[in-house]
Amino acid sequence: MSARRPALSVDVVSLTPHGRRLTVLLVRVGDSRSKERWELPNDAPRSDETIDEAAARVVRPTLGAQPAMLEQVAAFGDRRRHPSDAAVSIGYVALVASGASASLGGDAAWFPVDELPPIAPRQRAIVDGAMHAVRARLDQSPIAFRLLPSTFTLSQLQEIYELLLGRRLHKASFRRALHASWLVEPTDEWRSEGRGRPAQLFRYAPRKRRGSRRGVRFEGVSGT
Amino acid sequence: MSARRPALSVDVVSLTPHGRRLTVLLVRVGDSRSKERWELPNDAPRSDETIDEAAARVVRPTLGAQPAMLEQVAAFGDRRRHPSDAAVSIGYVALVASGASASLGGDAAWFPVDELPPIAPRQRAIVDGAMHAVRARLDQSPIAFRLLPSTFTLSQLQEIYELLLGRRLHKASFRRALHASWLVEPTDEWRSEGRGRPAQLFRYAPRKRRGSRRGVRFEGVSGT
DNA sequence: TCAATAGTGTCTGTTAGACATTATGGA
DNA sequence: TCCATAATGTCTAACAGACACTATTGA
pLDDT given for residue A127 in this prediction: 98
Q: Is residue A216 part of a domain?
A: no
**Whether residue A163 is found in the same domain as residue A110:** no
For residue A9, the SS3 value is: strand
**Whether residue A74 is found in the same domain as residue A165:** no
**A97: containing domain:** 8-138
What confidence category does residue B195 fall into, taking pLDDT thresholds of 50, 70 and 90?
confident
Q: What is chain A's pLDDT, residue by residue, as a tens digit (224 residues)?
A: 444 578 999 999 999 999 889 999 999 997 666 778 999 999 999 999 999 999 999 999 988 778 999 999 999 999 999 999 999 999 999 999 998 766 677 789 999 999 999 999 999 999 999 999 999 998 788 999 999 999 999 999 999 999 999 888 999 999 999 999 999 999 999 999 888 999 999 999 998 654 333 334 443 333 22
**Whether residue A122 is found in the same domain as residue A59:** yes
Q: Is A8 on the interface with B (CB under 8 A)?
A: yes
**Whether residue A59 is found in the same domain as residue A164:** no
**Whether residue B94 is found in the same domain as residue B155:** no
pLDDT given for residue B218 in this prediction: 45
**What CATH number has the domain bearing residue B166?**
1.10.10.10
**Whether residue B60 is found in the same domain as residue B170:** no
**Whether residue B155 is found in the same domain as residue B132:** no
**What CATH number has the domain bearing residue A58?**
3.90.79.10
**Whether residue B33 is found in the same domain as residue B66:** yes
Q: Is the pLDDT of residue B123 over 70?
A: yes
**Whether residue B74 is found in the same domain as residue B158:** no
Q: Is residue A219 part of a domain?
A: no
> B37 beta carbon < 7 A from strand D?
no
Looking at the DSSP bridge assignments, the partners of residue A93 are A13, A71
- Number of domains comprising chain B: 2
How do residues B9-25 score in pLDDT, each as one tens digit? 999 999 999 988 999 99
Q: Is residue B174 part of a domain?
A: yes
For residue A76, the SS3 value is: strand
pLDDT given for residue A32 in this prediction: 66
Q: Is residue A133 part of a domain?
A: yes
pLDDT given for residue A216 in this prediction: 44
Q: Is the pLDDT of residue B126 over 80?
A: yes
Looking across all nucleic acid strands, the nucleotide with the smallest C1' to CA distance from residue B200 is C6
Q: Is residue B221 part of a domain?
A: no
Q: What share of chain B is helix, strand, coil (3-state, %, to 5)?
A: 25, 25, 45
Rounded Cα distance between A24 and A107, Å, is 14
Which of B51, B78, B136 lies nearest to residue A77, judging by beta carbons? Answer: B51
How do residues B34-59 score in pLDDT, each as one tens digit? 778 999 999 999 999 999 999 999 99
Helices B171-181 and B154-165: crossing angle in degrees, nearest 10, is 100
- Domain C-terminal end among A138, A160, A190: A138
